[in-house]
């Protein structure tokens, strides 16, 4: 997959991009975990999410937040990383002007940033949030959540206890017009050690559904 350089708010952002072979394909942006705890676009969960969307026909981009890898800048506690994600989405849309829809997926810290992007970009049709850190970051900005999506969480996650994620999902499910698909991976820790394939299976099912919905909408248009 080709390496790409994206113009970001604080300089270049390093990314990896897979362009779909299918015409007028939707796009997907994948966000990595916390930069100060070893998070990069090459994290195994991020890479798996990237591959899942690419395998399902999406034009897919993952990138390093500022200060990670070859991306310029310094960690900015989430504010700057949100701007980085917006710049990456802009790049993705410029290179896919005929894309019928946008999707976003993130792992841990990346899930929190991704949900903030979702609130600011009405063109995003759906999301996958893996192990969202609902115990350490504020998700009250999802009022209301503008799109349906999927949450994936490990039952043995010791960093983000399941009850915090379930409380967030319960709140979102009270909103009209959206559906939250909540999948638990039995026995998985925060990093899905030895359970990466199980996590990927859930993400794959949701990506396939998104693609099928896209094709149905095209037929009915």
pLDDT at 42: 98
Look at residue 209 in the predicted model and tell me its pLDDT. 86
Quick one: angle between helices 79-94 and 109-120, nearest 10? 60
pLDDT value of residue 68: 98
Output the average pLDDT for the chain: 94
Q: What pLDDT band is residue 133 in, cutting at 50, 70 and 90?
A: very high
Alpha-helical (H) ranges within 31-129 are: 44-55, 79-94, 109-120
* CATH number of the domain enclosing 177: 3.40.50.1820
pTM: 0.96
29-53 pLDDT, tens digit per residue, is 999 999 999 999 999 999 999 999 9
Peptide bond into 57 cis (omega under 30): no
Please count the other Cβ atoms lying within 10 Å of the Cβ belonging to residue 157: 22
Instruction: Characterize 50-67 residue by residue with b for buried, 16 or more Cβ atoms within 10 angstroms of its Cβ, and e for exposed.
Output: bbbbbebbbbbbbbbbbb
Structural domain range at position 92: 3-220
The residue count of the chain comes to 221
Give the pLDDT confidence of 189-198 residue by residue, as tens digits. Answer: 999 999 999 9
- The partner residues of 180 in beta bridges, in order of sequence, read 149
* Phi, psi angles (nearest 5°) of residue 78: 110, -30
Number of domains in the chain: 1
Mean pLDDT (whole number) for 14-27: 95
DSSP 160: S
Helices 44-55 and 196-220, packing angle to 10 deg: 30
In the predicted structure, residue 130 carries a pLDDT above the cut 90? yes
Task: Compute how many other C-beta atoms are within 10 angstroms of the C-beta atom of residue 24.
Answer: 13
Please tell me the predicted confidence (pLDDT) of residue 1.
Answer: 67
CA distance 72 to 181: 36
* pLDDT of 219 strictly over 50: no
pLDDT band at 212 (very low <50, low <70, confident <90, very high): confident
pLDDT for 76 equals 97
CA distance 58 to 29: 10
Q: What is the enclosing helix (H) or strand (E) of 208?
A: helix 196-220
Q: What is the average per-residue pLDDT within 165-172?
A: 96
In the DSSP assignment, the letter for residue 36 is G
pLDDT for position 220: 46
Confidence of residue 20 (pLDDT cuts 50, 70, 90): very high
């Amino acid at each position: 997959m080709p390496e790409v350089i994206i113009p970001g708010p604080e300089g270049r952002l390093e990314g990896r991009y897979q362009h779909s072979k299918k015409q007028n394909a939707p796009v997907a942006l994948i966000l990595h975990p916390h930069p100060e705890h070893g998070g990069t676009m090459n994290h195994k969960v991020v890479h798996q999410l990237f591959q899942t969307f690419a395998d399902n026909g999406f034009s897919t981009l993952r990138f390093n937040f500022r200060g990670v890898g070859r991306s310029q800048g310094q960690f900015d506690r989430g504010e700057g990383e949100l701007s980085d994600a917006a710049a990456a989405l802009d790049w993705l849309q410029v290179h896919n002007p005929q894309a019928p829809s946008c999707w976003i997926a993130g792992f841990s810290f990346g899930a929190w940033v991704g949900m903030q992007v979702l609130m600011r970009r009405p063109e995003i049709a759906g999301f996958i949030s893996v192990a969202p850190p609902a115990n350490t970051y504020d998700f009250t900005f999802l009022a209301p959540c503008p799109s349906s999506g999927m949450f994936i969480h490990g039952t043995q996650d010791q960093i983000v206890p399941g009850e915090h994620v379930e409380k967030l999902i319960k709140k979102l499910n009270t909103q009209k017009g959206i559906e939250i698909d909540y999948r638990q991976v039995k026995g998985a820790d925060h990093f899905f050690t030895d359970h990466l394939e199980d996590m990927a299976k859930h993400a794959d099912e949701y990506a396939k559904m998104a693609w099928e919905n896209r094709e149905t909408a095209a037929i009915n248009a």
